[in-house]
Homo-oligomer: A and B are copies of this chain.
């Protein structure tokens, strides 16, 4: 169990996890059979249990491995002096990169689906969202203090901004609707950023 294992062991373990990920994403935890997973990994079903105690451990190991919260974060705390006009596009680019990664996309599918049934998955989901939300809210608070944004609840602002963007990403997770696919990420980012900046521009910088 807790014995240290060789590098090959971890490597093989990761291979199985990587092969199982799309299976879980496509069929869900209950729908993915061990035979499905074994076939995807080109191994015999029994071998799974050489590397994982059971299906559930494999499942959570996948989430732990391919949903690294570290990746879902920008060094916002060090960027207080970057004005929103520059930072918001950077933020969106960062998100775009993260979501572009195919595995992250698959993990999100799993997480969303499982969240509906198991509270634990919901916690992971919230954790990842907060990971993004809190630093961003802190940044916005600093901007408000610096007079670069209008006064207001930064947490609400952050939430609104991220959620208005989230849908664009979520749609890629969910089924594809042709009418809503026509927008390229950059255009969306520009549009949303503009709107946000206008909405929360400083109160009234009118001279005389």
Contact = CB atoms under 8 A, between A and B. Distances in A.
A179 B126 CA distance: 10
Contacts of A110: 116
Q: Is the interface of A mostly helix, strand, loop or mixed?
A: helix
A117 B186 CA distance: 29
A86 to B, nearest CB: 19
Contacts of A164: 160-161, 163-164
A25 B31 CA distance: 16
Contacts of A4: none
Nearest to A111: B116
A196 interface: yes
A116 B198 CA distance: 35
Interface string A130-150: 100100000000000000000
A61 interface: no
A3 interface: no
Copies of this chain, complex-wide, total: 4
A180 B196 contact: no
Interface residues of A, number: 56
B28 A130 contact: no
A132 to B, nearest CB: 12
A78 B146 CA distance: 45
A109 B116 contact: yes
Interface string A171-198: 0011111011001000010011011101
A123 interface: yes
Closest A-B pairs by Cβ, 9 of them: A122-B175, A163-B167, A113-B116, A164-B164, A199-B199, A195-B199, A30-B30, A126-B177, A198-B199
Interface of A: 25-28, 30-31, 109-110, 112-117, 119, 121-123, 125-126, 129-130, 133, 152-153, 155-157, 159-168, 173-177, 179-180, 183, 188, 191-192, 194-196, 198-201
Given A109-B116, A122-B176, A125-B174, 5 more contacts: A28-B113, A30-B30, A153-B191, A155-B179, A155-B180
